[in-house]
Structure 1
Amino acid sequence: AVGSADHRVHYYDLRQPREALSFFTGHRKAVSYVRFLSPDSVLSSSTDSTLKLWNANSGLCTMTYSGHSNDKNFVGLASHGDFIACGSEENCVYLYHRTLDHQLLKHPFSNMQQSNPSVQDEDDPDPTQFISSVCWRTGTNVLLAANSVGTIKLLELI
């Protein structure tokens, strides 16, 4: 399965790659990332600020996740069991549960003051920063997240 600028997920059988088996249609903008959650389900991320969960056998969308902002940058996507983490262009990490269409948690990355890096300034968000990567530590509820200026945070889901 691959994402495309034509707003669709193209689903292939690698034994016959000449043409797609099917197309998953439903995003309003380019699909920037696709991953399998199981042999039967595919998760896609789009610059329309949604994630979609697809039934790989039928090609039908079974859930749409919204709340995060993603208009132009790749904002990171990772899954762990029933949890889905993604970044956003407002410099926050979002956590979704596979069965709920709205966010469970939103964790903002705060700006660090240049003169004193230990002082956080959460009232002055920088609109140019975004979460660019998220990754679950294997076998744990620990999420590593990084943003576009190199800030890295280790977050634990309790």
Structure 2
Amino acid sequence: MMAKIGVFVGSVFGGAEEVAQEVVCYLVGAGHQVELFLEPTLEDFLGYQQDLALVVSSTTGQGEIPDNLLPLYQALNDSFPLMPRLRYGVIALGDSSYGEDRFCGGGRQFDELLAQLQAKPLTERLDVDACVNFDALEVAMPWVEGWAKQADAA
């Protein structure tokens, strides 16, 4: 069954954006209807609350959400729309050398907020450590394949 998937990207230096673009190519190739949001708004996100959302976020500064994704995070946090029908996934990019409390903080915060909004994760969040995986796609693509299988089954 074809799923409608919104891919919401938080990127500072383009790494998360590159991962998201590969993910979109894969999902489209698998027959899903996919849209990529590089400057996502609350309205964009709410358009998927009956469908699937995939958040691909790098981490900036002290474990923060990148500037292009932060307005969406703040808007969701402020308006707090409960979304029990939303199914989602999070790919969090980080670097463990910055410390455990900051590691993958951008994606981790988004994952926690979506859980509070009663959205349902299809699978566990993927935390990609730049110290271990120089090429994030090596771990992101197998994860996405599994995530997409869950989407098909749901």
- Normalised by the size of structure 1, how large is the TM-score? 0.25
Higher share of residues assigned strand: 1
- Taking CA–CA contacts closer than 8 Å with sequence separation of 6 or more, which of the two structures ends up with the larger relative contact order? 2
Higher share of residues assigned helix: 2
**Higher alpha-carbon Rg:** 1
- Normalised by the size of structure 2, how large is the TM-score? 0.26
